[in-house]
């Protein structure tokens, strides 16, 4: 029996109420276990794409499926268990009195027994190296620590697909490195929206460039990032001093 794609978008169209066309016939298939960087200029449709993966937004035409399950109203609870989204700002996800309460929120909404919720919280916090702060208020933590707690809150749901919106944004160099090391150890299918091209190269094997609501390039991340003309055409730029030879290595 053929394993369905982790993510499949087919000819997806979506416009916002002001008329802005965010997705214009976008199609994308991601296999289970793939690690994919979604790149593109501001306003290209990257974040809109990601919000379609767990049904926060739904296509006006076309289809989205996760693990063969259609992203539609009847399936939203299971879709949102399968696809966890870590937003750029962890404060958009943390609102409970303690870290443990925040991480427990998702499993509790699944109706799990109390002992299973506690076990899920312990596993997730241990996974991100934050078990020691379980009883602390999240707003007392550093930004990097809050990013880890937000990731734990998603991992507690045991998702198949992990979607990260600008995961390195606002992290200092050490926190950026440490969070990347954490992401590298995870088993989930990874979809990472980022402007941080070196981070994409470090963490993902495949890169998809989105512009004007369509996929305009798709290939091995090092090939995509070594294509200077492609990057220039879509307002992408490697940082000064970053070696293309490193990308090809």
Q: Taking 60 as the threshold, does the pLDDT of residue 170 lie above it?
A: yes
Give the tens place of pLDDT for each residue, 37-54: 999 998 899 999 999 999
Overall average pLDDT of the 170-189 stretch = 94
At 249, the pLDDT band (50, 70, 90 cuts) reads: very low
Residue 110: pLDDT band with limits 50, 70, 90: confident
- Crossing angle of helices 114-127/99-109, nearest 10°? 130
Q: What is the secondary structure of 61-130 as a DSSP string?
A: EEEEEETTEE-SGGGHHHHHHHEEEE-SSGGGT--SSSHHHHHHHHHHHTT--HHHHHHHHHHHHHHTT-
> What CATH number has the domain spanning 7-248?
3.40.50.300
Instruction: Give yes or no for a contact between 175 and 90, defined as CB atoms under 8 angstroms apart.
Output: no
Site of tokens 């749901």 = 157
Mean pLDDT calculated for residue range 94-105: 95
pLDDT at 243: 73
Tell whether the model's pLDDT for residue 4 goes beyond 80. yes
pLDDT at residue 125 in the model: 97
Could you read off the pLDDT of 6-38 as tens digits, one per residue? 999 999 999 999 999 999 999 999 999 999 999
Confidence (pLDDT) at 244: 61
Distances (CA, A) of 26 to 49, 57, 94, 172: 9, 14, 32, 34
Average confidence (pLDDT) over 66-91: 93
**Which of 119, 191, 130 minimizes the C-alpha distance to 158?**
119
């Amino acid at each position: 029996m053929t394993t369905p794609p982790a993510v499949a978008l087919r000819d997806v169209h979506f416009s916002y109420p002001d008329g802005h066309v965010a997705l214009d016939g976008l199609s994308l298939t991601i296999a289970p276990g793939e690690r994919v960087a979604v790149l593109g200029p501001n306003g290209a449709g990257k974040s809109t794409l990601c919000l379609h993966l767990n049904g926060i937004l739904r296509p006006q035409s076309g289809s989205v499926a996760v693990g063969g399950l259609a992203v539609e109203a009847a399936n939203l609870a299971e879709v949102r268990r399968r696809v966890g989204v870590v937003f750029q700002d962890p404060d958009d996800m943390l609102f409970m009195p303690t870290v443990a309460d925040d991480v427990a929120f998702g499993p509790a909404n699944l109706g799990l027994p109390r002992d299973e919720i506690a076990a899920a919280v312990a596993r997730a916090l241990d996974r991100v190296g934050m078990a020691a702060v379980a009883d602390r208020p999240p707003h007392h933590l550093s930004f990097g620590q809050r990013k880890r707690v937000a990731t734990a809150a998603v991992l507690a749901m045991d998702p198949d697909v992990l979607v990260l919106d600008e995961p390195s944004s606002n992290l200092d160099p050490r926190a950026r490195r440490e969070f990347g090391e954490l992401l590298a150890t995870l088993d989930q299918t990874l979809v990472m929206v980022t402007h941080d091209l070196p981070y994409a190269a470090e963490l993902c094997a495949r890169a998809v460039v989105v512009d004007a609501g369509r996929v305009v390039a798709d290939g091995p991340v090092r090939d995509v990032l070594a294509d200077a003309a492609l990057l220039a055409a879509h307002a992408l730029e490697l940082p000064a001093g970053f070696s293309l030879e490193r990308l090809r290595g």
